[in-house]
A and B are shown apart, each in its own frame.
Chain A
Amino acid sequence: EPEVTQTPSHQVTQMGQEVILRCVPISNHLYFYWYRQILGQKVEFLVSFYNNEISEKSEIFDDQFSVERPDGSNFTLKIRSTKLEDSAMYFCASSNGKTNTGELFFGEGSRLTVL
């Protein structure tokens, strides 16, 4: 069964360092997403991506964040200069349609710990 894969599963970094989280969405999907969950809090939408551009982003997704689909298979989230409050589980998801018509398929998550 096709699945969304994420790497790394856990990354520990120092505050101020750049981090890249990688995702391989399901191959025939066209919509890609990043969500995050700070421990004990809600799963929060960060950004959606379609047709090689951001289609929607939340207020959390500031200039420190960027997304890219560099090679037609990977979908990356970059945090330029990490802050302590960026520590969270980051989930990648993909779908083949808009959310109310297509199911979101999630990866297992990448846990980011900023020290």
Chain B
Amino acid sequence: GDSVTQMEGPVTLSEEAFLTINCTYTATGYPSLFWYVQYPGEGLQLLLKATKADDKGSNKGFEATYRKETTSFHLEKGSVQVSDSAVYFCALTSGTYKYIFGTGTRLKVLA
């Protein structure tokens, strides 16, 4: 079945450091890919998405490119801030009613 694998956390970075959170997937067909973020005490919020190969999703300085050849959707940000501290979830859907999520990666940014 479809699945998503994310890098283990927690990831601890200093402010203004470069961030990469790896995500790879297994799916039949051509899924849509997503990154969701969960700030402390809040629900999951859509951060960005890409619906076909080579699409780049971007939002709030975060980017991820849908790489079909490597079945990856790595999340990147050039300069993280303390306010980016959260849990990040990679997810996919193959057009049904459900998302498949990864385990989440906790990011902690130190001032």
Contacts and interface: CB of A to CB of B under 8 A. Distances in A.
Interface of A: 3-4, 31, 33, 35, 37, 40-45, 48, 50, 55-56, 58, 91, 93, 98-100, 103-109
Nearest to B44: A106
6 contacts: A43-B89, A43-B104, A45-B99, A91-B44, A98-B97, A100-B31
Given A48-B98, A93-B44, 8 more contacts: A42-B101, A43-B91, A56-B96, A99-B95, A99-B99, A100-B51, A100-B95, A103-B49
Interface residues of B, number: 26
B20 interface: no
B101 A44 contact: yes
B102 A91 contact: no
Interface of B: 4, 31-32, 36, 41-46, 49, 51, 89, 91, 93-104
A48 B99 CA distance: 10
A49 to B, nearest CB: 9
B58 to A, nearest CB: 15
Contacts of A104: 44, 46, 99
A42 B93 CA distance: 15
B57 to A, nearest CB: 12
A12 to B, nearest CB: 19
